[in-house]
Amino acid sequence: MTVEANIYIAPKTGLRSCRKCRTLVNVARAKVRCKLPEVIEYKKQWFQKNRNRVRKQVRASELKIKYGITSEQYAEMFILQGGVCAICKQAETSVDNRHGKIRVLAVDHCHTTNKVRGLLCQRCNHAIGMLRDNPTLCRIAAGYLEINA
């Protein structure tokens, strides 16, 4: 019997409960979080076995929700850009502190239209973000750097 088979949804109240521990929550607001040690242990083991699959699914969901693109579209952009940042033409070197791995290129997008522009390294992405995605400010900053070099 799986953990999912132990969930009961009351049709009139909309409450969801775990048949093992009787935890009740509103269906619209949250998932049932069973507090029983054997259920918690089962979930931990499942996650350990399926860690890579979960990460891929989470990344795919983030891309779709935040930017409206699929993992395949991201991969296509990555290949078209040669695996480097669209601005500095360098590979990503920034390390994610949570995993100790090199980060993926960030999806750059217009915050007004939500149109995806390209893939950027963390430094370039932060730089244009600090300049408020404003092309005029970027040109002024470039001119300032050229004059004061």
Per-residue model confidence as pLDDT tens digits over 109-142: 998 898 999 999 999 999 999 999 999 999 999 9
pLDDT at 35: 76
Residue 10: pLDDT band (50, 70, 90) is low
* Residue 145 CB neighbour total at 10 angstroms: 9
| Cα–Cα dist 73/118, whole Å | 11
pLDDT in tens, 23-32: 766 655 556 5
Residue 2: pLDDT band (50, 70, 90) is very low
DSSP-derived secondary structure for 124-147: HHHHHHHTTT-HHHHHHHHHHHHH
Amino acid occupying residue 123: R
Domain boundaries, the chain: 4-49, 69-147
CATH architecture of 69-147: 3-Layer(aba) Sandwich (3.40)
pLDDT in tens, 70-104: 999 999 999 999 999 999 999 999 998 888 889 99
Question: What is the value of pTM for the model shown?
Answer: 0.72
* Residue 84 CB neighbour total at 10 angstroms: 16
| Cα–Cα dist 125/133, whole Å | 9
